[in-house]
Copies of this chain bind each other. A is one copy, B any other.
């Protein structure tokens, strides 16, 4: 096991009817900005419920944070925070709204050019250069990104998608009420399952370091997703299935399974380029890239792929290579069983676009990806070819 640091101070209020915790966890005199997305939380009444739980506090609303939240949009909210003397932000939404809110919190009182926050990457640098942040809480409406219990965000600009991290941007609290996700479109639930699955495998299918607990938890999340996905897509109001999906999504990216283990994240990095270039949903990009990546990296990942085959898919017979073949096939079939296509060509992207994608990876400095930093642009190109 590698040495590791772990810290996660976000308070979780999980279950039905937890909105009263908004009032209990925000200063009584706070002026609150509510951030949300395209308006479904507004239409279905959730924003009104959040406001009702803010009592007499002054409230300002900022809607319209888009999927893959954009720098320009978020800077408008940061201006409101400054001009209206906002003390606290309530993010109501999924990963995009929460990620966007994290950026608003960092940018509002940042003294330099806020665009630079997209370029720092590491949490250490960002935490050092930002002196003051606005604290924020979350009401989650979409189980996928895990942003409700971590310090990370992915922010888009015309230059691409950028990871932004800081120990200052853990939510103060997150309300995870599975019933708020009942009205999600099926495709968003399916994307959330894939996102959670690949968050887990990025921290699990690497090389073995004898981190037994972390492996077991990762395998537990993967098995749970395999068990519940059909039910939670077909029966959105099945509370237990959805509760297990919500908690899986949070647990997959709250730092616990990443303690002391190597991490890959190649699939996310290549996937981000597909979203930026072609507008393909984040979950879909992962379903496209991941099976292809496993094919290309089956030698480097052999030991963990075998463990994955045996423990997650219960494949006991055949040679090592046969087990790995079947595990990769089952991974692809699992994504497709959710209604998500796993070939780039099925999204209208033709093979002549591969050099364009690789060029973007180059521009973004993503020339040494993976748990061993040895996925060069040539290897990324091979992964993309396999993904056609």
CB-nearest residue of chain B to A228: B212
Q: Mark A16-28, 1 if CB is under 8 A from B, else 0.
A: 1110000000000
Residue numbers in B under 8 Å from A240 (CB-CB): 1, 210
**Contact: B12 with A6, CB < 8 Å?**
yes
A contact residues, range: 35 or more
CA distance A220 to B257 in the complex (A): 12
CB-nearest residue of chain B to A217: B217
CA distance A18 to B3 in the complex (A): 9
CB-nearest residue of chain B to A11: B7
**Contact: A14 with B8, CB < 8 Å?**
no
- Known contacts A18-B3, A220-B219; is-contact A244 B213 (Cβ 8 Å): yes
Q: Which of A9, A213, A228, A244 has the most CB of B within 10 A?
A: A213
Residue numbers in B under 8 Å from A247 (CB-CB): 1, 211, 213, 259-260
Residue numbers in B under 8 Å from A244 (CB-CB): 1, 210-213
- Known contacts A240-B210, A244-B1; is-contact A224 B216 (Cβ 8 Å): yes
CA distance A18 to B7 in the complex (A): 15
CA distance A5 to B228 in the complex (A): 23
- Known contacts A15-B4, A240-B1; is-contact A216 B221 (Cβ 8 Å): yes
**Contact: A14 with B4, CB < 8 Å?**
yes
A156-204: which have CB < 8 Å to B? none
Checking B3, B8, B18, B243 against A16 with a beta-carbon cut-off of 8 angstroms, the contacting residue is B3
A13 within 8 A of B: yes
The number of times this chain is found in the oligomer is: 2
Q: Mark A221-252, 1 if CB is under 8 A from B, else 0.
A: 10110011000000000001001100110010
CB distance from A253 to the nearest CB of B (A): 13
CA distance A10 to B16 in the complex (A): 27
Checking B1, B5, B248 against A12 with a beta-carbon cut-off of 8 angstroms, the contacting residue is B5
**Contact: A260 with B3, CB < 8 Å?**
no
Residue numbers in B under 8 Å from A219 (CB-CB): 216, 220
Residue numbers in B under 8 Å from A228 (CB-CB): 212
A1-57: which have CB < 8 Å to B? 1-18
CB distance from A193 to the nearest CB of B (A): 14
- By a beta-carbon cutoff of 8 Å, the part of chain A in contact with chain B is 1-18, 210-213, 215-217, 219-221, 223-224, 227-228, 240, 243-244, 247-248, 251, 256, 259-260
Given contacts A3-B15, A9-B9, A217-B217, 12 further A-B contacts (CB under 8 A): A3-B17, A4-B14, A5-B14, A7-B11, A14-B259, A14-B260, A211-B247, A212-B224, A213-B220, A216-B221, A219-B220, A243-B260
What are 18 A-B pairs with beta-carbon distances under 8 A? A1-B240, A1-B243, A1-B247, A3-B16, A3-B17, A7-B12, A8-B9, A12-B259, A210-B240, A211-B247, A212-B224, A213-B224, A213-B247, A216-B216, A216-B217, A217-B220, A219-B220, A220-B220
